[in-house]
Structure 1
Amino acid sequence: MLTPEPAVTQTGARRWVCLVILLVGSFLPPLDYFIVNIALPFIKADLRASDGLMQASVSIYAAAFALFLILGGRLGDRYGPRRIFMLGMLGFAAASVACGTAGSDLGLVLARFVQGLFAAIMAPQSLALIHANFNGKDKALALSLYASIFGLACLVGQGAGGLLIAADIGGLGWRNLFLINVPIVLPCLLAAARLLNESPHHQRRPLDIIGCALFAGFLLPLLTCLIEAVPRGWPWWSWLGLALSALSPGLFVIWETRLKRKGGTPFVDLEIFHLPALLPGFLALFCFYAISPFFLIYADYLQSGFQLGPAAVGARILPFGVGFFLAALGSAFLGQRQGKPGALLGLSLQAASMLTVVLCVGGGRPDLLYLPLILLGAGQGFALPALVGVVSDTLNRHQAGMSAGLINTVLQCSSAFFVASIGGVFFAVKNHLPTDVGLSQALVAAALLILLCQLLALWLIRLAIARQTAPVLPLPTPNVT
């Protein structure tokens, strides 16, 4: 059997073309999350959609991304990140066409699920391919730019989204938000096939499809009930969905444990749950994205309360993206120097900014929100990488790969859950309460969850300090019988 040759890193101008391709692959998944929030009021009017299904078009994308992120990483390990990256890009473009040509709200939701699936297949490969195609200072620069791409997606999604709808290219309106992905992806696909080097480190391990399905059996019925059960008066199928969601975790644990004992590769290695830092760490990450429904609710508030057009709505949300991008870019270049204080500072800034936004909205002065939104975005941009770093540092380094996959999954599950829950409550009561009251209540709830996240982060920091001062014990030998 031949041993694969090590990948040859890129040189000259070709390496920067490769970097652009990989950054596009990391940029598109978060872009298509942020860009849709602005468009939802206009999609709703065009498709005559219900609030629940419009809300589902956001949460189902985040849920699909969360469900298949770990599977996407495993596919890259098994078949090679270059091949899976190209497959993910192609599927993402096809799903974008399906979104842009959807003739009904249900068709859009289903297309968004497929789009999230292929986004999860594409996104994890970028980091592996950066390691395969760059080295030295070029790799350090590439990784810094990779770390800031989420902030850029937030900025562009909230700035360009409204302008693209207002431009109404070809009379397609909001559909251009999805169709624009096609002319971006196709040249990248052609260039990737020609220029990208493959990573040689493939692991031919079987995929745990049953574990992935059981994980989906927990999250998808739960989200469906949160979105649709309340406005429909809790029909019979909602109770069936809750029962399925309640049973799935137990079945998941039984299956994963059995698979590990047989020497297989489980979807999630349950040994990581024995770590004392895991519970507060994952709870902190889960609370962090309580801000997710804000964009959806704020866009509805501006459109229904002030009859603003798409470009004006985008301009009102843009300050958040500016703050987030600048803070995320600064965090990327500060790296470890930001450290644990960055998480606490960013979370404090977030909570204070949310409450300031509540005061401005309650006073009927949305024109005063530009500075609070910049600070809110900056708080999240500083806190996100720092909080992820705190959680990662307190977990077992021998589980680094699994920890990274679970961290991203928890963040995406958080986004899907809070869009469905807080957003669901907002849309359920918005016909009975003024929109500014509903927005204020949602932000107060999010601020309280951010404060809980801060307390959990302090707990994690204490655990990290205790771990540094504790004696080093030998690692137990894993049981693979």
Structure 2
Amino acid sequence: MTSAATLSPAGRRARPDRRSPGWVLAVILAGQFMAILDVSIVNVAAPTIRTDLGTSGSGLQLIISGYTIAYAMLLITGARLGGLSGPRRLFLLGLALFTAASLACGLAGSEGLLIAFRLVQGAGAALMVPQVLSIIQLQFEGVSRAKALGAYSAVLAGAIVVGQVLGGVLVSADLFGTGWRPVFLVNVPIGLALLVVGSRLLPADHVRREQGVDLPGLVILSVAVSLLVVPLVLGHEQGWPAWGWWSMAASVVLIGAFVLVERRARHPLIPGRLLRAPGLVPAALAIFGAMTTWGGFLFTLGLYLQGGLGDGPLRAGLTFVPGAAGFAIASLNWRRLPARLHRKMILAGYVLAALGYLGISIALGSGGRGEPMLEILLLLTGLGLGAAYSPLFTVALAGVAPEDAPDASGLMSMTLQLGQVVGVATFGSLFLSLLPSSDAIGVTDLGLAALALAAGACTLPLLRKGGRG
């Protein structure tokens, strides 16, 4: 495993700052938590926002999805800026922008302003989030790094569910007649506290000043990602118009152009040596598959519970708790198993998740609630994904050189985000296209099970790398 030290401007190797590793992890994961929370918490508030501001259907979609669009499009940019200026500085800058935009969202008086501030909020998250993995990679080593990545994985799973539950609580409470506004304003005191604590506790940056940025590659990749994400996010709402298909086709062309530009770049955004890091590419593919299933599952089951069964936002959110709990339990405890089982556990986790999705397909296939089996199957699915996800991150980052940590963070963060967007778009469209058939959710979950097995197959090369976790 590579050292977590980084290089100072003079080329000296700097040791990780270990003054308060627990607090460092708490600060950066709290920032990560807020960034993910803001995806699901706003979904719950959408009907109230529409009534209060009189938004159009497309306007409401942009309020919900504008955050995701800006977030996904700028993740690689945020990662590279972190490499140039230092992850501490960019984390705090992104957190400040995210917090200020949250305040502006909560005070917005019109549809246009709320859309604009959501885009700014997504940009702040894109600056902040890639630095989380960078700081973990640079400041933690060995078992400590694996535990930190386990906590990181638990936050990813938990924030989505907490967002749904907290959104339901805040909107239902209608604090002081503010309706939907607290779903944004709740970020403000937390963000301010993190800025104060983070400015004191986050380790100093050690930046490689000789690094540059491939500006043409950065522009091409950002445009390519936006051309992919925008139609995936807005496509179903607008009936999959022709512009969306042309946009996605153009994205493929631009990605090819990006590869050509990167080959000639002096400072490529994704260095070739990063892609050659042992286990990184198969792990990234498997993680993409896992997040595609998780994002698609949360979205479609939420639609089923609220639209098909008539659950309120709070009850629907609470339904997901066993899945998030299983994910967190496996993420935080997988290191307790013998090291020889860690890589084998990855494939076993995907198989367990696939069986969970398959069981949910059967339990809900008749159009009922499927209780109490649904809760048990959610727990098993969460355990499977958590058992696969956290060890995968450890494998993916183990061979990454410290100086490549920002680029690895950007790549993995974009993989996570795109996986969720693709999952919502593809499986959401599948589910909605099958309605009003009673087996819509059953067929959708059957597709999720198949994808989980395919993602697990991507991990087979990792089983030949030995038994170290």
TM range (shorter): 0.7 to 0.9
Following superposition, the deviation at residue 147 of structure 1 comes to: 5.6
Other-structure match for 2:442: 440
| Matched residue, 1:289 | 291
Aligned amino acid, residue 372 of structure 1? L
CA distance in 1, matches of 2:53, 2:341: 46
Aligned to 1:331, which of 331, 334, 342? 334
Do residues 365 (structure 1) and 369 (structure 2) align? Answer: yes
SS at the partner of 1:367? Answer: coil
- Once residues 358 and 52 of structure 2 are traced to their aligned partners in structure 1, the CA distance between those partners, rounded to angstroms, is 34
Equivalent residue number for residue 267 of structure 1: 269
Shift of 1:451: 0.9
Identify if the C-alpha distance between structure 1 residues 47 and 287 changes in structure 2 by more than 3 Å, giving closer, same or farther: farther
* CA–CA separation in structure 2 for the residues paired with 1:387 and 1:159: 28
Among 372, 375, 382, which residue is 1:377 paired with?
382
Q: Confirm or deny: 8 A CA contact 1:350 1:379 kept in the other structure.
A: yes
Aligned-pair identity in percent equals 34
| Distance in 2 of aligned mates of 1:168 and 1:318 | 24
> Which residue matches 1:457?
459
Find the residue that maps to 1:198 and give its secondary structure.
coil
Q: Could you tell me how far 1:87 is from its partner in structure 2?
A: 0.5
Task: Give the Å deviation of 1:256.
Answer: 1.5
- CA distance in 2 between counterparts of 1:445 and 1:256 reads 35
Counterparts in 2 of 1:272 and 1:73: CA distance versus 1, 3 Å: closer
On the 8 A contact 2:217/2:258 being kept in 1, the answer is yes
**Contact 2:81–2:90 (CA under 8 A) maintained in structure 1:** yes
* Aligned equivalents of 1:57, 1:378: Cα separation in 2: 33
CA 1:251–1:144: 2 relative to 1, 3 Å: closer
Deviation larger for 354-363 or 201-210 = 201-210
The answer as to 2:228 corresponding to 1:225 is no
Q: Quick one: structure 1 residues 234 and 303, their matched pair in 2 at CA, closer, same or farther if it must change by over 3 Å?
A: closer
TM-superposition CA deviations, 1:28-50 (whole Å, max 9, x none) = 22333343454456556666667
**Aligned residue type for 2:32:** S
Corresponding residue for residue 471 of structure 1: none
Deviation at 1:343, TM superposition (A): 0.9
Q: CA distance change for structure 1 residues 60 and 46 in 2, over 3 Å: closer, same or farther?
A: same
Alpha-carbon distance in structure 2 between the residues aligned to 1:86 and 1:114: 15
Preserved CA contact (<8 Å) 2:46 2:64: no
Cross-structure match for 1:252: 258
Q: How does 1:414-429 map to 2 (within 5 A)?
A: 414-427=419-432, 429=433
Structure 1 length as normaliser, TM-score? 0.79
Q: What is the Cα deviation at residue 371 of structure 1?
A: 1.4
Structure 2 residue 352 is the aligned partner of structure 1 residue 349: yes
CA contact (8 A) 2:92 2:128 kept: yes
* CA 167–238 in structure 1, closer or farther in 2 if over 3 Å, else same: same
- Whether contact under 8 Å (1:56, 1:420) holds in the other structure is no
1:416 CA displacement: 1.4
Structure 1 residues 374 and 68: CA distance shift in structure 2, 3 A: same
Query: Shift of residue 196 of structure 1?
Result: 3.6
The answer (yes or no) to whether the contact 2:73–2:223 under 8 Å persists in 1 is no
C-alpha distance in 2, partners of 1:44/1:336? Answer: 52
Give the direction of change, closer, same or farther, for the CA distance of 1:254–1:104 in structure 2 (3 Å limit): farther
Q: Is the 8 A contact 1:60 1:112 kept in 2?
A: yes
Corresponding position of 2:313: 310
Cα distance in structure 2, aligned partners of 1:2 and 1:440: 56
The one-letter code matched in structure 2 to 1:247 is V
Specify whether residues 390 and 29 from structure 1 end up closer, same or farther in structure 2 by C-alpha distance, changes over 3 A only.
same
- Quote the Cα distance in structure 1 between the aligned partners of 2:258 and 2:43: 33
Indicate yes or no: 2:413 matched with 1:408.
Answer: yes
In 1, Cα distance between equivalents of 2:396 and 2:145: 24
Q: Which residue of 2 aligns with 1:242?
A: 248
Report the Cα offset of residue 252 of structure 1: 0.9
Distance 1:52 1:461, change over 3 A: farther
Whether 2:95 is the aligned partner of 1:89: answer yes
CA distance in 1, matches of 2:76, 2:283: 18
Return the offset for 1:185: 0.6
CA change 1:412–1:239 in 2 (3 A) is closer
- Which of 107, 117, 131 is matched with 2:123 structurally? 117
C-alpha contact 1:331 1:338 (8 A) present in aligned 2? no
The amino acid of 1:344's aligned partner reads L
| TM-fit CA distance, 1:89 | 0.5
Render the CA deviation track for 1:161-181: whole Å, top value 9, x for unaligned: 332332222333343222211
Mapping 1:109-188, distance limit 5 Å = 111-126=117-132, 129=135, 145-146=151-152, 148-154=154-160, 156-188=162-194
Name 1:476's counterpart in structure 2.
none
2:304 corresponds to 1:301: yes
Point out the more displaced range, 187-196 or 332-341: 332-341
- Note the C-alpha offset of 1:258: 2.2
Q: Counterpart of 2:287 in structure 1: which amino acid? A: L
TM-score normalized by structure 2? 0.81
Equivalenced residues, count: 456
2:364 corresponds to which letter in structure 1? V
Task: Please list every run of 5 or more consecutive structure 2 residues that lacks an aligned counterpart in the other structure.
Answer: 1-7
Per-residue Cα deviation, 1:429-457 (whole angstroms, up to 9, x for no partner)? 26x524x5332222111111111112222
Amino acid at match of 2:388: A
Amino acid corresponding to residue 412 of structure 1 in structure 2 = Q
Distance, in Å, in 1 between the alignment partners of 2:201 and 2:221 is 36
- 1:184 positional shift: 0.3
Distance 1:100 1:337 in 2: 50
CA distance in 2, matches of 1:53, 1:248: 28
Deviations 1:88-111 (A, max 9, x none): 111111232344455677765554
**What is the CA distance between 1:382 and its match in structure 2?**
1.3
